[in-house]
Chain A
């Protein structure tokens, strides 16, 4: 029951992200999402591996709920951008599409569950919806920072999916994934900073002339 509530919470964070234009708010929501995901192992896993789960959970919450928002907020301050001004897809349309994606995720989740993974439709659909939302954000938003957020959401979705489907991932792999994401966000934060200094903006669609 508690688990279902967590999944519903995650779905809601995604929907808010789709409809939010304020970048600082988006960062906060992604942080919440990451922190909730960090707690998920407690609820999903067998309690006999408590030490390991505790370690991972603390690390995840600290990174996704603390370090990433801090890095992103810093980048945000550097570039003096507060909101996503002109997204390729408007916010209400984004929300409508998000609902469509949610429906698709539920249909897919229902189908995939039939393979016999032994997980609930809700959990699978949530993970899929998170991936879809992340990809959608990457595609539809202009600011490089929004794209980083999209990437984080996508990665959250993959993490959740892995957690559900492969119950016994080796903890080294999980650590590796976390480290990857950390490095990615760190580098993107620095890159956004540098790009905005060089180009005076961080609009992705105007970076075309960087191509060879």
Chain B
């Protein structure tokens, strides 16, 4: 516990150091990164200790803020979220040094390390805070620091636009959180988390709704996800990895913490969470399929994975509220493990995408191609991430989705038709999401890394240096380790699940149909799969030994003189799926088709705007702007009248107060 607070202090100190050194970007980077890495090492120890069965800790430092208390605590739930935060933050920071090299001129790079460390420190504080006010302050620091990181290349109009969308979205979310804490604080008489309990059902329901909106905005539930596909592509890639991999998880953490505080959950909450999970998951992956921007595609996949996590939470809540402890364990366990897994493979994918951007200077999938030959390390790492995020065995994505599947199937078997409905929805939804995600990553990996380069930059691209390669490799290995060591990974989730289901740790996952044994059997299959691939590889090597290997064109397609431009594009690859989701995506086709035998120029491109951004939020905000412009006359610049407003308000308040004495 003390180590974590010290780590926070260290992060802030080194961040300040980086700020002071902003004129010398190299010094700032060294300062900031070494601070992050040291803080991660300090912080990981207490988290691991708690997950391996250590007792939870609570610390209260004097803090002279009315209504606030510097109450920080570390329990298993916090630890589950803290480990990816610290792990990914350290790796992304190491990666960022080389990534930011091209931006060396100007103080922006030095300053960005300050914001980076503040962001990491505030995320740690959000996860540790046990007081509403402290939580909100850390939350706000987190939002602002990430806003400045998104605005790194603020000279570009697109980046500024993305930054504003993010700032507005995050503050609307925070407003709901303030309302929620005020509501809870009024009921409990204190903003300390420990005092909240035994709420009237109406208050609990209202707090739950506010939490869904407030935390859902950060996490990226559809339709509150609109800032993700804007902000993630705009930020530097190592920041995208941190934002998408771990920062949006603080929203999930908030929701989980609230589920713990609000008392016994109600069945409707489970329905709501499963509904949100299904819409976020399916629409997220559908939008991802239609994207041409590699990082935007990944951002939509974050929406999808947040949907999967919400599905898991929903299954858990339903299991808890209907009195099926094993189902609750499986749902919560799957959700928590998916939080860790998504942090690993999503940051891996963003770092891989960053390496591509670093090497080729473009994020447009249709301008890339054939990078596997020139960037083998990046391609391999991206491939591992793609397999993992698609939920395919033997990697980690499969393990967490398996838990949710298993819980849903069990409850389908145990309950009647009506009660089984949400679980059937979860199973069908998960299957659909998994299938579409595989298709999407077949597209992303296929178009970017396979085939032939389409541009000169693509031909001359090369793998980044070791400081960028190593973080990707470590993350890829972590993905593999959780997949191949599934029983141990799931066992580590037990203390956190026990907190959510209010059961002793020892009986988690060991009741009827021992989940850990089941996973043990699965893992044996995984190892067999790995062994099989190894044997096949060995066989290929043996067969090819001593023979001449000829290199040919990929995707020759029977043409006599093929050119790289004849390859599948992102649009054509995904056309079938995009057409299928036409009702939701409303993709615009701009084309001029070839005419006649000797046709002139022809072109076609597709564009998929975010329907919720363009169709829901933009009209609402335009309307609001119009309405508020009617109030502009109040702001006329007459100083005396401003004083009059203030004086009148104060006097009227005084009169109102005095007349009620």
Contact = CB atoms under 8 A, between A and B. Distances in A.
Interface of A: 88, 104, 107-108, 111-112, 114-115, 132, 135-136, 138-140, 204-205, 207-208, 211
Contacts of B558: none
B654 A139 contact: no
A135 B658 contact: no
Given A108-B655, A205-B638, 8 more contacts: A112-B661, A139-B640, A139-B643, A139-B647, A204-B640, A205-B640, A207-B639, A208-B636
B643 A135 contact: yes
Nearest to B646: A135
A108 B659 CA distance: 8
B651 A132 contact: yes
A205 B641 CA distance: 10
A107 B657 CA distance: 12
A208 B655 CA distance: 32
6 contacts: A111-B658, A111-B659, A112-B661, A139-B641, A139-B643, A207-B639
B615 interface: no
B637 interface: yes
Contacts of A140: 640
Contacts of B175: none
A138 B642 CA distance: 11
B644 interface: yes
Contacts of A88: 640
Given A111-B658, A114-B661, A208 B640 contact: no
Contacts of B643: 135, 138-139
Given A115-B661, A135-B647, A138-B643, A208 B637 contact: yes
Nearest to B644: A139
Contacts of A139: 640-641, 643-644, 647
A135 B641 CA distance: 11
A126 to B, nearest CB: 16
A132 B648 CA distance: 10
B650 to A, nearest CB: 8
A142 B40 CA distance: 61
B654 A108 contact: yes
Contacts of B647: 135-136, 139
Contacts, number: 35
A208 to B, nearest CB: 4
Contacts of B638: 205, 208
Task: Name which of B636, B639, B641, B654 has the most chain A CB atoms within 10 A of its CB.
Answer: B639
Contacts of A204: 639-640
A211 B642 CA distance: 13
Nearest to B642: A139
Contacts of B654: 108
Contact of B661 (A111, A136, A138, A205): A111
Q: Tell me the interface secondary structure of chain A in the complex.
A: helix
Interface residues of B, number: 15
Nearest to B645: A139
B658 to A, nearest CB: 4
A112 B639 contact: no
B186 to A, nearest CB: 25
Contacts of B639: 204, 207
Contacts of B636: 208
Nearest to B636: A208
Interface in B591-639: 636-639
B657 to A, nearest CB: 9
Nearest to A210: B637
Nearest to A128: B654
A163 to B, nearest CB: 19
A108 B658 contact: yes
A141 B641 CA distance: 11
Contacts of B640: 88, 138-140, 204-205
A138 B641 CA distance: 10
Contacts of A132: 651
A110 to B, nearest CB: 9
Contacts of A104: 651, 655
Nearest to A108: B658
A98 to B, nearest CB: 14
Contacts of A111: 658-659, 661
A208 B641 CA distance: 12
Among all A-B residue pairs, the 3 with the closest Cβ atoms: A111-B658, A135-B647, A211-B637
A132 B652 CA distance: 12
A88 B639 CA distance: 13
Contacts of A211: 637
A190 B651 CA distance: 31
A204 to B, nearest CB: 6
Nearest to A211: B637
B515 to A, nearest CB: 63
A14 B643 CA distance: 19
B661 to A, nearest CB: 5
B637 to A, nearest CB: 4
Contacts of B644: 139
Nearest to B655: A108
Interface string B392-416: 0000000000000000000000000
A108 B651 CA distance: 10
Contacts of A114: 661
Contacts of A115: 661
Contacts of A208: 636-638
Nearest to A147: B640
Greatest chain B CB density within 10 A among A88, A114, A135, A207 is at A135
A140 B661 CA distance: 31
A211 B15 CA distance: 36
A112 B661 CA distance: 8
Nearest to B639: A204
A135 B647 CA distance: 7
Contacts of B641: 139
Contacts of B659: 111
A139 B641 CA distance: 7
B413 to A, nearest CB: 68
A211 B655 CA distance: 33
A148 B261 CA distance: 54
Interface string B151-192: 000000000000000000000000000000000000000000
A211 B651 CA distance: 27
A104 B655 CA distance: 9
A112 B636 CA distance: 36
Nearest to B660: A111
B237 to A, nearest CB: 37
Max chain A C-beta neighbours (<10 A), residue from B641, B655, B658: B658
A140 B644 CA distance: 9
Which of A135, A139, A205, A207 has most chain B Cβ within 10 Å?
Answer: A139
Nearest to A112: B658
Contacts of B651: 104, 132
A136 B655 CA distance: 17
Nearest to A135: B647
Contacts of B655: 104, 108
Interface string B427-453: 000000000000000000000000000
B430 to A, nearest CB: 54
A49 B593 CA distance: 97
A208 B654 CA distance: 31
Nearest to A101: B651
Contacts of B658: 107-108, 111-112
A208 B643 CA distance: 14
